[in-house]
Chain A
């Protein structure tokens, strides 16, 4: 039996029926749910949440990735050392519990655990801001193109095609080398200005079909302005793909930023970034800990973000009413 058909749980029904826990208003509810056969009204979001929570891997990944990001946010409380402090007793040392060098130290004696934790802060910041910014840009471009159509659509989509047909990584490398100057905010902006194209196409497609819906016509008849219709009526109905795409962008942005920093065109030292930390491993192939720890942190973050994205995709698909078992 599909989950949507089930009434209140026996315990809840008993509690309500006993009148012990139920507030006075509960009496009305009690009479409505009396036989346990009625369908409880749930909003789209309640369904989505329920479907997402059933996706165990996605929930676990969400917890892990939140924990990792929180480590980055509270880096100054979690890191046992400063990311630039030099410990001359432990130069180039393998991981050790003594004096808290859990991930070892680099050639200058800087604690690698602290550097990784601060690197997470940088990566998380870049990933989240890029996802947010590119989502906003993509939403506006795609929304305007899809809603107005005609020559506006044509121009905006040609621009989107332009960005999409260019080879991504070389373009980013050139932009980062010339405009980035190793500054994390500049790099973030450059990434955001390239990453919006995917979403713009998705939103445009969804707006093209929503434009013909009756409720849009009704809103128009009621005298709503274009932007009110777009953002108040149509946007909430295409929110599913936007959220999924935004989530996956976090992972991609973190990966691409790491690649840029790894090649030396992204975020420059002294700001610790996970990609740049892996570079130190390239320079010291004997010290495996310099590659493995920041590298695995990256893999773990991106893996979890991808799983969360998958879970959200399953959860937010409105054609899928059945709760995933």
Chain B
């Protein structure tokens, strides 16, 4: 198991390097980091030459990549090419906010998704089952931005018509309010619901399907034949085994969400990872974008690995050599 983990970790290093080199080349070839300075009369041609020299922009791309990588590794993400400010403090701030959002919404989505998935499978083809099947198909087809926008519009209109402030529709908190205040909850409620609906649709479908795979298996029948009570069969024999495939799905989903619920955060103007990324991308702040992409790729790879490890841990039939 440990050799397997180490091998996977070692293997992901060249993948990350190759990916980052590709992205770096793409970014460097298709844009000019000095474009914003070039048109500025305050900068003399001499300064431009100096800047090019200072930031190694006169070197070929592989050399620039090496410089960037050195900075990224040694100086925690390096400095922004646009503002020359360190990137790491910004990332730290936004990552905390995103973590708060993701952890809350995913916890709720897992609890609801597992609960309703199990009940749907036990009462297959009931009215309850059909209503949630319909709901999750809608959830699959619903673009995140549409759901977020509809919620935003609904609560803006509620405020404008009745002057009741249930939830805020943008921002992270009012001035002077803390990270764990009621005010923060009012701000985060709608983004949480948005992410919750999308993840819940996925989890409840998966849970239902994997319950149905197991519910008629031989060992469940054996347990029933032994006279074990039905709820005990479901909870102890079926449910536990049905959870295994769901763990993978959850780990993969969280891995991709940590990269920022880009759309949700930019609609609700939350100062999180996704919002930061979009903002930097719009400003052509390429080194910040690169650093962000690297960190999120690490997250995705890490959660892929966690998914595989958990899978092997939960299911003794799987052995990694």
Confirm or deny: A168 has a beta carbon within 8 angstroms of a beta carbon on chain B: yes
Complexed CA–CA distance, A136 and B82 (Å): 40
Residues of A within 8 A of B168 (CB): none
* Contact call B281/A173, Cβ cutoff below 8 A: yes
Residues of B within 8 Å of A, CB-based: how many? Answer: 46
Complexed CA–CA distance, A291 and B18 (Å): 41
Confirm or deny: A99 has a beta carbon within 8 angstroms of a beta carbon on chain B: no
* Contact call A282/B267, Cβ cutoff below 8 A: yes
Q: Which residue on chain A has the smallest CB distance to residue B155?
A: A285
Known: A295-B150, A299-B138. A179 touches B145 (CB 8 A): no
Residues of B within 8 A of A90 (CB): none
Residues of A within 8 A of B141 (CB): 251, 299, 302-303, 306
Confirm or deny: A191 has a beta carbon within 8 angstroms of a beta carbon on chain B: no
Complexed CA–CA distance, A174 and B267 (Å): 18
A236 to chain B, nearest CB (A): 30
Residues of A within 8 A of B146 (CB): 278, 291, 295, 298-299
Q: Which residue on chain B has the smallest CB distance to residue A251?
A: B141
* Contact call B278/A291, Cβ cutoff below 8 A: no
Confirm or deny: A161 has a beta carbon within 8 angstroms of a beta carbon on chain B: yes
* Contact call A303/B15, Cβ cutoff below 8 A: no
* Contact call A179/B30, Cβ cutoff below 8 A: yes
> In residues 142-166 of chain B, which contact A (Cβ within 8 Å)?
142-146, 149-150, 152-153, 156-157, 160
Residues of A within 8 A of B31 (CB): 178
Confirm or deny: B199 has a beta carbon within 8 angstroms of a beta carbon on chain A: no
Q: Which residue on chain A has the smallest CB distance to residue B169?
A: A285
Residues of A within 8 A of B278 (CB): 173, 263
Known: A178-B31, A285-B153, A288-B153. A165 touches B300 (CB 8 A): yes
* Contact call A299/B142, Cβ cutoff below 8 A: yes
Q: Which of B15, B289, B293, B296 contacts A161 (CB 8 A)?
A: B15
A221 to chain B, nearest CB (A): 37
Confirm or deny: A225 has a beta carbon within 8 angstroms of a beta carbon on chain B: no
Number of A-B contacts (CB under 8 A): 120
Confirm or deny: A281 has a beta carbon within 8 angstroms of a beta carbon on chain B: yes
Chain A 255-294 against B: per-residue CB contact (8 Å), 1 yes, 0 no?
1001100111100000000010010011001101001100
> In residues 153-177 of chain A, which contact B (Cβ within 8 Å)?
158, 161-162, 165-171, 173-175, 177
Chain B 274-305 against A: per-residue CB contact (8 Å), 1 yes, 0 no?
00011001100000010011001101110010
Residues of A within 8 A of B262 (CB): 169-170, 173, 263
B313 to chain A, nearest CB (A): 22
Q: Which residue on chain A has the smallest CB distance to residue B295?
A: A167
Q: Which residue on chain A has the smallest CB distance to residue B300?
A: A167
* Contact call B156/A165, Cβ cutoff below 8 A: no
Q: Which residue on chain A has the smallest CB distance to residue B266?
A: A263
Q: Which residue on chain A has the smallest CB distance to residue B261?
A: A169
A310 to chain B, nearest CB (A): 9
Known: A166-B297, A170-B292, A285-B153. A259 touches B263 (CB 8 A): yes
Complexed CA–CA distance, A185 and B73 (Å): 37
Q: Which of A263, A292, A302 has the most CB of B within 10 A?
A: A263
A293 to chain B, nearest CB (A): 11
Q: Which of A161, A168, A174, A255 contacts B281 (CB 8 A)?
A: A174
Chain A 295-318 against B: per-residue CB contact (8 Å), 1 yes, 0 no?
100110011001100000000000
* Contact call A282/B149, Cβ cutoff below 8 A: yes
Complexed CA–CA distance, A168 and B259 (Å): 10
* Contact call B138/A259, Cβ cutoff below 8 A: no
A90 to chain B, nearest CB (A): 21
Q: Which of A170, A285, A306 contacts B140 (CB 8 A)?
A: A306
* Contact call B263/A167, Cβ cutoff below 8 A: no
Known: A174-B281, A282-B267, A291-B153. A275 touches B15 (CB 8 A): no
* Contact call B142/A165, Cβ cutoff below 8 A: no
* Contact call B143/A299, Cβ cutoff below 8 A: yes
Q: Which residue on chain A has the smallest CB distance to residue B31?
A: A178
Complexed CA–CA distance, A292 and B292 (Å): 33
Segment of B19-27, B38-46, B62-70, B89-97 engaged in the interface with chain A? B19-27
A125 to chain B, nearest CB (A): 18
Please give me the 5 A-B residue pairs with the lowest Cβ-Cβ distance, nearest first.
A303-B141, A302-B141, A295-B146, A178-B30, A167-B259
Assuming A170-B262, A264-B282, what are 16 further A-B pairs, CB within 8 angstroms?
A: A158-B15, A162-B15, A167-B299, A170-B259, A173-B277, A174-B26, A174-B27, A174-B293, A177-B282, A178-B26, A263-B145, A275-B145, A281-B149, A291-B146, A299-B143, A299-B146
A-B contact pairs, 7 of them (CB 8 A): A165-B301, A167-B297, A174-B27, A263-B262, A281-B149, A281-B153, A307-B137
Write the residues of chain B forming the contact surface with A, with a CB cutoff of 8 angstroms: 12, 15, 18-19, 22-23, 26-27, 30-31, 137-138, 140-146, 149-150, 152-153, 156-157, 160, 256, 259-260, 262-263, 266-267, 277-278, 281-282, 289, 292-293, 296-297, 299-301, 304
